[in-house]
Structures are given as structure tokens and as C-alpha cells.
Chain A
Amino acid sequence: MSNQIKKVISMNVKTLTLLPGYLGRKIQKNWRVIIITIPFVWLLLFFLFPFFIVAKISVAELKIASPPFSKMFEWTGNGILSVRIVFDNFIYIITDDLYFNTYINSVKIAAISTFFCLLFGYPIAYGIVRSGPLAKPIFLFLIILPFWTSFLLRVYAWMGLLSDQGTINNILIALGIIEEPIQMLYTEFAVYIGIIYTYMPFMILPLYANMEKLDGSLNEAAADLGSRPINTFFKVTLPLTMPGVIAGSLLVFIPATGEYVIPDLLGGGNVQMIGRVLYNEFSRNTDWPVASAVALAMLFLLVLPIIVFQYYQGKSVEEK
């Protein structure tokens, strides 16, 4: 928290504490606790509680009813409370190859996309940091600009570009480079294009923030000590921008793994990703228990990178 924000908060709290009497004294005494409690209550209500509902559904049985799953607790008469916990759904998604392959595919697509985002994003971020004081805000604005248009619209635009009768195929045919249109839409390639394009800013911005702090004289010092530019990059620049690389990679990798819209619109039925499977189970098959189990499994799949992310975040904060 920046000092300014702290100041504002403590000022507002002080005005609050001007309230007379018992309540005022209570607030004055416990304002830190109060401020910390609010976001935790929020998370409890809107994340943890729904999460338990999902967890509960994941151990229920599919039923043709409304809601379409069995109850966990039921009075069977004679004062017996029966508790039904069904692990079928988990066994099903573990044993059925579809889910396993879909997980692997999701992670693969997310990982490759992250790699390419890094490959293109790193030099872009470096270029922006090194650009002049006039160009820098313009470049940054251009990076953020796509956020001002609807995400869906941008994906539809890619459909227009990539389809058989799309812009790219039309141009290639007009130039005589190809005779038949190349199928790009509804392939993995299109999914990669979509993910890399969409998530690029999430790679560039943390990298930029990290590189901006880099001391330019370190590069000069390395050169002065006899290090060639390439060696300087690997020995000085890259290690020092590692926190940015990690932050950017996780910001791309985590949401890309669970991506639903891009594989659905650009990949069609040909690219299985976990987000799509989840959607199909939930709304087409109306199999809420399996869908919940898939969601839980995905959560744990993603918790690992989040923990890694938090760990490095905490570490880099400590270093400052």
C-alpha cells in the first residue's frame, strides 16, 4: 500500500473516530481489524461459500430433477440422517481419457502460448522502456488500447481474418500464392493466435513495470567490465527482469488454461480445452456433478501456479 493511500485511510478513519461515545472509541481502537475484515468477508461470501456449493455438487449424483443432482443430507425417517458423498464423478473424469487429454491439451496450449507471449512480449517491453519520453506513453497506450473494445468483438474479428473466405486467404489467393484457401479457422493454430493476441498485454505490462526500474548504468558497468551485449543480456538483464517474466507468464498461463471463448470460437469442435468441456457438461449435458468435479479439478490444476506466483511475488516484495 502506498503511503499516500495509507495517509488517506488513516485520515478518514480519524474523521470516523470523531464520532462521539462508545462506538467512536471502538472504531478508533479496532480500525485496522475492521479494514482487513471487509475484503475477507467479501471473499468468504462470494468465493469461499460458492466454492463449497460447487464442492458439494461435485460429490452428488446426477438426477433428472431441478436442481439436477441428489441431495447430500436427507432424513430417511426414523430419525436417520443419511449423508451421500459420491466419488463417481471424480473417478469418471480420472478414468475417462477425454478429461485427462483435455487437461493436458489445455496446459500444453497455455504453456506454448505463454512461451510465445514471452518471446514477443519481452522485446516489446524492452523497446518501450528504451523509447523516448514522447514515444513511451503512446506505446503504452497502444498496448492498453485493445481493452477499450469488447473482447468478444476482437475474437470475432480474428474469425473474419482467419476463415476460408477471410481476409488473409483472400489476399493470398489474389496474390496467386495459393489456389485453395488454407484452413486456419477451427484449428489449434487459430487458438494459439487468439490466446497470444489476447493475453499479450498481460505479459508486456508486468515486464514493462519491472524493466522500468532497471538501472541503465548496470548495462554500462557490464560492458565496461568487458561483457559483450549478448552476455550482458543473459547475465545481467535477464536475471534482474526475472520477477517480471514470472509475473507476466503466470498472468498469461493461468487464465489461458481455463480459456473458454477463444477455443470455442476459433477452435470450433477441433480443439478441446477444459473451459469448453466444462461448459458442455454444464449446459448441454446438464450434468452438474461432473461439471463441478471438472471445475474442482481445474482449480487444483491452477492452484499450483498461483502458489508459485504468490511465492515469487512475496519474495520480490521482500527484496525491496
Chain B
Amino acid sequence: MIEKSNVNDTTWHTDDKTKPLVQIKGLTKKFGDVIAVDNIDLDIYQGELFCLLGGSGCGKSTLLRMLAGFEYPEAGTIKIDGMDMSNVPAYERPTNMMFQNYALFPHMTVEQNIAFGLQQDVMPKDEIADRVHGILKLVELEDYKKRRPQQLSGGQRQRVALARSLVKEPKLLLLDEPLAALDKKLRKQTQFELANIQEQVGVTFVVVTHDQEEAMTLSSRMAVMDAGKFKQIGTPTEIYEFPETRFVADFIGSANIFEGRVSEDGADHVIVSTNVGEVYVNHGQSIAKNKKLWVGLRPEKIHLSITPPPQIGPNQIMGQVEDIGYLGETSIYKVRLKNGQIVDVTAPNQRRPMSRTHSITWEDAVYLSWEPESAMLLIS
């Protein structure tokens, strides 16, 4: 497993004066015998767009529901803005949630849906009207305020749901799979809109998603969850480029993984001997010699060539092209190594092929090589 200090060590809060908005300590939730959330610690800072990423049943939604106050933990505490939320019911929390199915009130118009939250506070009528008008402008739904949710498209409903949860200006906005119900094209467009809106209003967002691309584009920081625990927390770049475990490396993007042992531990590098040869990795961390670990290689970081690379050295393997998948913008090559292992390599199709075939084709003997910075050390 990852050392605790490592998990929380991110560049986000180098400034010690910023106090976390959300402090989660030792949070545990069980449903019968199933542990949904397992002894979790997490700090979320003001203004962050924090993504909880994981497969279904990993506990991400349960964690979100505990923040909202729909579920109560068996153990542990949640503090929002320094206040303990343990005995605070959902209707008194400074959080608002955007539901996966939007949960818009079908018997109310768009306007009434958005005003509902404000009406629960003591607020003069014209101020409610002003706020509703303002938020409708933000999500560009002014012309639809008299409509009912059933009369709106999926994308419009999504924006009503967002407006309804934002209009109370919560300290923390919780979004449960906010884009899952949209079709792919709209989803991509909305990802950026959502991030823009978050920037405009400055509210802290916690987003639950199972879509890694969504998490990568949206978040300022994200946590990868599995079986009720965090596997890794960091910025999207940290998670993608420096995954700590095989699980994370494989969950975010794809990775070719080789098992090996540390054969040399230098000051600025590590050499791992694997069953496909020696791998030289530039890695600042010191790792005990002979330790068993794994080397991960992203498919897009491997060079593919028919001629041998200029220098003979580490980080080179030979193989034979077994299969090619043409995806348009890139092609994916399945290369079989001598030991039978298949390695995925992706290459951008930067040039339009003259003969409608790839310059590298089936059955070609090819060289695989990569930079020493590219390989990832995975400790479990």
C-alpha cells in the first residue's frame, strides 16, 4: 500500500494558512456486512473542484451522500468550514447537491424549482426573484422559466438542476454523476461549461464520477477510489503520469505492466530488471534493492520503429506486430514480445497514408523504445 504521507502530499495546499473547507477523518460506513466507505481521511480546500473517481460500488456515492447528510457514518467525523456535521440533518447543512437523475420537482416550473431552496430561508420575495433571475441567466435558461421539467431536453434539465443547487450559494456543492445522463457530444461540451461556471461562482465542487475522462477534464484534484478506500489522491497530471499502483495506472488510461525487481538504486534513477529486459527509470525516490515492483508504460509513450533506435541501451524491446486498430486520429498496435506478452502502443496518425495502409503493418518486426522519464514505478 501507499504510505499515508504520500497520499496527502500534493502541491495544492503548500500554503499552510489555507484551512481545509472539508475535513474528513476516519469516516466509515457499512451497509449490513458490506463496508461502503472504509476509514477515509480527506481534506478539501476552498475553491477546489474535487473529483471522486471509481467504479460502481466503490463507495464514492456513499461518501457524497454522507457529505450531504442523507447517510450517517458508523465512525469518523465530517467537518465543513470547521463545524462538525455529525448531528446536522441534511436540511440544515451548508451543502447542496445536484442529483444524478436531477430530482427536479415535476409539479413545479423551472422557476419554482429554483426558488424552492430560497423559499426555505427567510428571504424577501423580490430578492428571491432577483436571485432566480440571475442564476437563470448564468445557465442560459431565461426563456424556459415557465416550463415544467418534462418539457425540457436532457441538457436543459441538467442546467436547471445545476441552477437549483447553486442558487443557495452553498459552501459546498455536491454533484453526483452530473453528466452521466447526457449523450457523448453534449457531455464533452458541458464538462467545460461546468468547469467555467465553477470558476465564475467560486463555490467548492465535489464531483462523483465513474468517467475518468470527465474527472481528468473537470477536476483540480481527484481521488481514485476502490472498495471504500482511496487508492491515490492528486491532480489529474499526478494521477495519470505518476500512478502509484497497478490499479490506478490501469484505471486511469491504460498501461502495459511488467513485473520486475530493483537491480540498481541510484541517486536519480532506478534500474528494474524485468522479464523483458532492463528498464531504466528516472525516479527521485529511493527504493530498496531487490524489491519486487512493477513497471508501467503508457501506450502513447512508446515509440514504434522498424529500424533499430540510434543507441543500443535499456528501454528497448523487440516484438512483432500482431494486430492494428485504426481509430482515425490514432492507431493502436498490438505488439507481441518474445515472451508472448502483448504490448499496446498507440501512435498518432500525423500523416495521411499514401497507400491506405500503415507504414508499419501486420507481421512486421518492430523496435519498442521509450524515454527514461516515461516508465512508471508501481509499488503494488
A positions within 8 Å CB-CB of B:
215, 217-218, 220-228, 231, 235-236, 239-240, 319
CB proximity of A186 to chain B, nearest CB, Å: 46
Asked whether B273 is an interface residue with its Cβ less than 8 Å from the other chain, the reply is: no
Q: Are B101's CB and A215's CB within 8 A?
A: yes
Q: For B105, what are the chain A residues with a Cβ–Cβ distance below 8 Å?
A: 218, 221-222, 236, 240
What are 23 A-to-B residue pairs whose CB atoms are below 8 Å? A217-B103, A218-B103, A220-B70, A221-B97, A222-B116, A223-B69, A224-B68, A224-B69, A224-B70, A224-B97, A225-B96, A225-B116, A225-B120, A225-B165, A225-B168, A226-B91, A226-B92, A226-B120, A227-B120, A228-B91, A236-B105, A239-B107, A240-B107
CB proximity of A308 to chain B, nearest CB, Å: 19
User: How many contacts A-B (CB < 8 Å)?
Assistant: 60
The complex places the Cα of A11 from the Cα of B22 at a distance, in Å, of 62
Q: Are B103's CB and A215's CB within 8 A?
A: yes
The complex places the Cα of A19 from the Cα of B168 at a distance, in Å, of 68
Asked whether B60 is an interface residue with its Cβ less than 8 Å from the other chain, the reply is: no
Q: For B329, what are the chain A residues with a Cβ–Cβ distance below 8 Å?
A: none
The complex places the Cα of A221 from the Cα of B103 at a distance, in Å, of 6
Q: Summarize A's interface: helix, strand, loop or mixed.
A: helix
The complex places the Cα of A218 from the Cα of B161 at a distance, in Å, of 12
Number of interface residues, chain B, beta carbon within 8 A = 25
B positions within 8 Å CB-CB of A:
68-70, 89-92, 95-97, 99, 101, 103-107, 116-117, 120-121, 150, 164-165, 168
CB proximity of B205 to chain A, nearest CB, Å: 15
Q: For B150, what are the chain A residues with a Cβ–Cβ distance below 8 Å?
A: 319
Q: Which 5 A-B pairs have the closest CB atoms?
A: A225-B117, A226-B120, A221-B103, A217-B103, A223-B90
Q: For A319, what are the chain B residues with a Cβ–Cβ distance below 8 Å?
A: 150
CB proximity of B100 to chain A, nearest CB, Å: 8
The complex places the Cα of A148 from the Cα of B25 at a distance, in Å, of 57
- Known contacts A217-B99, A217-B101, A224 near B107 by CB under 8 Å: no
The complex places the Cα of A101 from the Cα of B91 at a distance, in Å, of 51
CB proximity of A318 to chain B, nearest CB, Å: 11
Q: For B91, what are the chain A residues with a Cβ–Cβ distance below 8 Å?
A: 223-228
The complex places the Cα of A222 from the Cα of B95 at a distance, in Å, of 12
Choose among B95, B105, B168 the residue with the greatest number of A CB atoms under 10 Å from its CB: B105
CB proximity of B62 to chain A, nearest CB, Å: 14
B99's partner among A221, A227, A240 (CB-CB below 8 A) is A221
Task: Specify the chain A residue showing the minimal Cβ separation from B96.
Answer: A224
CB proximity of B102 to chain A, nearest CB, Å: 9
Q: Are B106's CB and A240's CB within 8 A?
A: yes
The complex places the Cα of A312 from the Cα of B150 at a distance, in Å, of 19
